[in-house]
């Protein structure tokens, strides 16, 4: 199987499979751009130089996918084998570095772009896990990891507690999106519908958690 192109485990072949692969690759790159924006924004807020901002944007955009690919044996990871991922990450980093004021005009830009990346990567990660033979539980867990991995690495690199370890509905949103993908594939629903619904569910839950301060119980102080 090619490391730069893959076809998910859906009942398509020929032109339909090629079209689906194109859609999936596009979604993956959009998610990469979204996570890269969130990483670069954190870098600028922490007053990193342009190289540091680009490193943080690439790490945030690709860490989850690289970890996913290593765990399922898809090597070299697509983010390293396909130059488009580096290019998209660097583009997002440069835009954020030089147009930071415009990015900040969005309400809470890091969380917004992070939610978008979380949703898209949870979808792609789950599909790729299914494609490599994982069962429903494993696919859900790997889809969740694909979504949260970049945010964890981003936060660790700037020495702050990762969002996923706080009370926000972060990993839960990714897990729910992954579950929607697994159910949709099992029912052989249209691929685009499955992907769109899953991403909408994940993004919607994460956005509502941000807007209305929904959170899980936290450990009491000692």
Does the pLDDT of residue 14 top 60, yes or no? no
Strand partners, 168: 215
Rg (CA), the chain: 17
The whole-number average pLDDT for the span 59-83 is: 90
pLDDT value at residue 112: 81
What does the alpha-carbon distance between residue 105 and residue 75 come to, in Å, rounded to a whole number?
A: 39
The whole-number average pLDDT for the span 51-56 is: 96
Residue with tokens 């936060």: 155
Distance of CA 104 to the CA centre of its chain: 21
Q: How confident is the model at residue 73 (pLDDT cuts 50, 70, 90)?
A: confident
Q: How confident is the model at residue 22 (pLDDT cuts 50, 70, 90)?
A: confident
pLDDT value at residue 56: 95
pLDDT value at residue 167: 58
pLDDT in tens, 101-138: 888 887 677 778 888 888 989 998 999 899 888 999 99
The whole-number average pLDDT for the span 174-199 is: 92
CB 170 within 8 A of CB 148: yes
pLDDT in tens, 37-53: 989 999 999 999 999 99
CB 42 within 8 A of CB 158: yes
CB 119 within 8 A of CB 206: yes
pLDDT value at residue 213: 80
What does the alpha-carbon distance between residue 191 and residue 222 come to, in Å, rounded to a whole number?
A: 49
Element (H, E) at 121: helix 109-131
pLDDT in tens, 156-173: 999 988 878 875 788 899
Torsion, Cα of 150, 58, 123, 4 (10° steps): -130
Q: If you average pLDDT over every residue of the chain, what do you get? A: 85
Strand partners, 215: 168
171: helix, strand or coil = helix
pLDDT value at residue 17: 55
pLDDT value at residue 169: 82
CB 5 within 8 A of CB 25: yes
Choose between 126 and 19: higher pLDDT.
126
């Amino acid at each position: 199987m090619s490391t730069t192109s893959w076809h998910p485990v859906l009942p398509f072949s020929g032109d339909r499979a090629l079209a689906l692969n194109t859609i999936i690759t596009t979604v993956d790159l959009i998610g990469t751009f979204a996570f890269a924006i969130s990483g670069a924004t954190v870098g600028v807020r922490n007053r990193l130089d342009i190289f540091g901002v680009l490193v943080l944007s690439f790490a945030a955009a690709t860490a989850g996918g690289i970890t996913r690919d290593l765990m399922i044996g898809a090597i070299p990871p697509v983010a390293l084998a396909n130059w488009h991922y580096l290019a998209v990450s660097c583009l997002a980093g440069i835009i954020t570095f030089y147009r930071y004021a415009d990015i900040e005009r969005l309400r809470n830009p890091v969380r917004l772009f992070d939610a978008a990346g979380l949703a898209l990567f949870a979808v792609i990660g789950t599909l790729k896990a299914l494609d490599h033979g994982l069962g429903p539980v494993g696919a859900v867990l790997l889809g969740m990891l694909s979504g949260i991995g970049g945010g964890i690495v981003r936060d660790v690199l700037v020495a702050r507690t990762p969002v996923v370890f706080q009370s926000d509905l972060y990993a839960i949103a990714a897990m729910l999106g992954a579950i929607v993908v697994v159910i949709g594939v099992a029912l052989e629903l249209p691929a685009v519908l499955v992907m769109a619904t899953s991403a909408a569910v994940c993004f919607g839950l994460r956005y509502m958690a941000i807007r209305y301060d929904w959170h899980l119980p936290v450990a009491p102080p000692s």
